[in-house]
Structure 1
Amino acid sequence: MVAESRKRIATRIKELQPEASNRQVAKLLGASHQTVNNDVGGKDLPSAAKKQSDTSADELDGGNNSPPPSTSGAAAAKIIDRRDRKSTGKSR
């Protein structure tokens, strides 16, 4: 049940925020990036063709050991559920 919910939430986050990396989604959900890669179909795997010179300064700045996001998996699920209801016009 938890794995199914995580997979649904991860997939929905990627639909709403396609620029978000699987690592960012994993931190948000409290899972490993490999788990999220598996959940969303491995779309965020590193490319062997990408050279160091092609990497922007913003991409290099990502490994700064900053604390994880303050949103828990449960809070993320509520946000996604709220957006789903809003986009479909349904309420509980």
Structure 2
Amino acid sequence: MILALFEKHEGRYGYRRIHAELKSLGYVINHKKVQRIMKELGLKCVKFVRKSRNKSYKGKEGKVAKNRLNRRFDTPNLYKNG
């Protein structure tokens, strides 16, 4: 049934959508089982690509401000022996 649904939707459905289809047809099956069976059959959705999130971090840029207030930025470890 999984193979038939996969072919019906021309390989565009992954295990989540296949599981939803099976559930709507009245089959009671765990999504992990569907994922395992699809892996064994070599069925993998290839036409669907998730959108990537915005990666705005550019690394360390600019200059570090001088320690004009003589702040202590490293603290002693109080729990070394305990």
Q: For this structure pair, what is the TM-score category when the shorter chain's length is used for normalisation?
A: under 0.3
Indicate the structure with greater helix content. 1
TM-score (norm 1): 0.26
TM-score for the superposition, normalised by structure 2: 0.27
